[in-house]
A and B are shown apart, each in its own frame.
Chain A
Amino acid sequence: MHWKPDPIVPRPDASGNLVPAGPSPGRMPEPAAEISAEAQASRALRLVARREHELLALSELSQELTISLDLYGVADLFLFNLMGQVGTARSALWLLSEQDRRVPVLLRSHGIDRRTAAALGSACASWLLERFDREARVVFASEAGETAQATSLLVRRESIALFAPILSRGEILGFLAIGPRIGSGAYGPVELQALQTSLGMVGVSLHNAKLYNRLLENNRQLRLANENLMELDRLKSEFLSNVNHELRTPLTVVIASLQILLEKGPEDVETGEFLRAALAEAQSLKGSLENLLDFSDVTRNRVAFQLERGDVAATLRAYFEERLPGITQGLRELTFQAAPDLPPARFDRHRLLQLIDALVDNAVKFTPEGARIEIRVSTDESDAGCRIRIDVADDGPGIPRDHMKDLFDSFSQVDGSATRRVGGMGLGLAFAHQVAHRMNGALTATSEPGAGSTFSLFLPTA
């Protein structure tokens, strides 16, 4: 699929009505009004200046896109450049979800409220994708009349002038919406050509950003898997050998046997399906057992905590930079903020990172694509004295009020049914709560259904 800006496609005038791009067929053009040579020269100079501005903007964009490999950073770079290039105050950019290519996820919007922009993308997606599948070109907002009335009204209310596909290697990555050009008339063939060039550049950048983030996340998962293996090995040499022998050894035999049967080749397709299902469940059970072992260690004080004086902000900044690519690749935004001049705290670095990881994993699990997760570090003054406060906040659906009192209980989940959407044993928050207590700190949660959740960890200063 290749971009096709059709220069003879009708353009909308200032009122959004489609007008022909050239003279009507069969009619002679009207004679031009008398214009002085000076006025003509001035107009020509102005046109040249405008084209120079557009070319300069494209040159700037090609350099600016090398600044960032972060999806959200690339989106900002592109939208700001485009808005300045054409002179519009409204723009938004969506990427298509990797789980469902018909679902757009808002990356960035400017001049349009975030929630409204998300709704706009959802309302227009099926119509736009159908049009882009037929022909990858600009779709003017005036063409929204062929959609449902509510969609058409939303497009008009948000003053969108046009939508355009973002392509990479022939595939649609997402799409863009921009508002009308302020003070400069409609989008003509030259503007559309410049837009096509910009979109080509940003398509490549977004594709590269996704690949890069996926690579970093894979590396992180491998590193965590290796660390987890080392931790399990250490546990095995301690006092849980009976549990290992009674439960894990037979479970390991079961998993190995199933894998061998699958490698040998099952008798028929149905048998193969049963074997794969059994193997998946056995591996899930093994993962749950390993989580239980770690949780048990912490809650029974069978593991010593290394409480040392340290810089919480520096520790969590390094963690944030490592987690960012994977979370960005999952089309959620992760941000980090630390107040300046924070006093040192006393904490176990390894356990603090496990705790924050559990809170961030919880936020990722229970928020949809397009959500924002924030890690904030500050101080807290209370009757308990000065403490370091770490917030992990999301703008997801929030926690139902009747679940708040059991939030940190072991095996508690918002949806505890067997058919729940999110997996896991519900140990993450219970584990985090125990770790906070073992570090002489505290962990609290606040949430409003529909307005997100904030988990706050308080640590003593050193």
Chain B
Amino acid sequence: MPDAFGISEEVRGRTVLLRVHGKLDARSAPHLLEVGSRIRTRKMNLVLDLSGVTFMASSGLGSLLSLAEEFRQSENRVRLASPSPAVDSVIHLLNLHQFLNIDASEEEAFHALEA
């Protein structure tokens, strides 16, 4: 089921890559925030690959903003990679692309973290 929410995790050095797929809505948003917050408390960086997100509700966007703010207040960093059209349209509609660090691909995101 393409809309079924899921997160896969891959560790590369000091960075965790989370690939998110499915619907990011009120049911899945708390889970994403919990997983992301745990990575922050482990003092690691985070790359969120959102290419597989088929739909993002306002609550999904709210959880992304909350997570970005948590990382902003910490010593670690988070970058969003490959946002799907569903994600990209909302981010640009609300002019959030400056606040959220967005890269076209996972490689660009990792490169930006190393810089």
Contact = CB atoms under 8 A, between A and B. Distances in A.
Interface of A: 46, 49-50, 53, 56-57, 60-61, 64, 67, 76-77, 79-85, 87-91, 110-111, 113, 182-184
Chain A facing B: main interface SS: helix
A82 B62 contact: yes
A110 B57 contact: no
B59 interface: yes
A44 to B, nearest CB: 14
Which of A50, A61, A88, A113 has most chain B Cβ within 10 Å?
A: A88
A84 B90 CA distance: 9
Contact of B58 (A46, A57, A110, A184): A57
Contacts of A90: 69
A110 B59 contact: no
Interface string B61-73: 1110110111011
Q: Which 6 A-B pairs have the closest CB atoms?
A: A183-B95, A84-B58, A84-B61, A83-B62, A80-B62, A111-B69
B59 to A, nearest CB: 4
Contacts of B93: 46, 49-50, 53
Interface string B1-42: 000000000000000000000000111011001000000000
Contacts of A113: 73
* Interface-centre pick from B73, B90, B96, B98 (highest chain A CB count, 10 A): B96
Give chain B's interface secondary structure class.
helix
25 contacts: A49-B93, A60-B58, A60-B59, A61-B58, A77-B59, A80-B29, A80-B58, A80-B63, A82-B58, A83-B61, A83-B62, A83-B65, A84-B60, A84-B90, A89-B68, A89-B69, A89-B72, A89-B99, A110-B66, A110-B69, A111-B69, A182-B96, A183-B98, A184-B94, A184-B95
B64 to A, nearest CB: 8
A111 B73 CA distance: 8
Contacts of B94: 50, 53, 87, 182-184
A85 B72 CA distance: 21
B30 A88 contact: no
Contact of A84 (B59, B68, B72): B59
B65 A56 contact: no
Given A53-B90, A110-B66, A111-B66, A77 B98 contact: no
Contact of A60 (B26, B69, B98, B99): B26
A51 to B, nearest CB: 11
Nearest to A46: B93
Interface of B: 25-27, 29-30, 33, 57-63, 65-66, 68-70, 72-73, 90, 93-99
B58 A81 contact: yes
A156 to B, nearest CB: 16
A254 to B, nearest CB: 53
Nearest to B26: A64
A83 B26 contact: no
B59 A80 contact: yes
A81 to B, nearest CB: 5
B59 A64 contact: yes
Nearest to A77: B26
A89 B58 contact: no
A84 B26 contact: no
Given A110-B66, A182-B65, A182-B98, 19 more contacts: A53-B58, A60-B25, A60-B59, A64-B59, A81-B58, A83-B65, A83-B66, A84-B57, A84-B58, A84-B62, A84-B65, A84-B90, A87-B96, A89-B68, A90-B69, A111-B65, A111-B66, A183-B94, A183-B99
Contacts of A111: 65-66, 69-70, 73
Looking at B27, B65, B95, which has the most chain A CB atoms within 10 Å of its CB? B65
Contacts of B27: 67
A50 B93 CA distance: 7
Contacts of B62: 79-85, 110
A79 B33 CA distance: 13
B99 to A, nearest CB: 5
Contacts of B68: 89
Contacts of B96: 87, 182-183
A132 B62 CA distance: 27
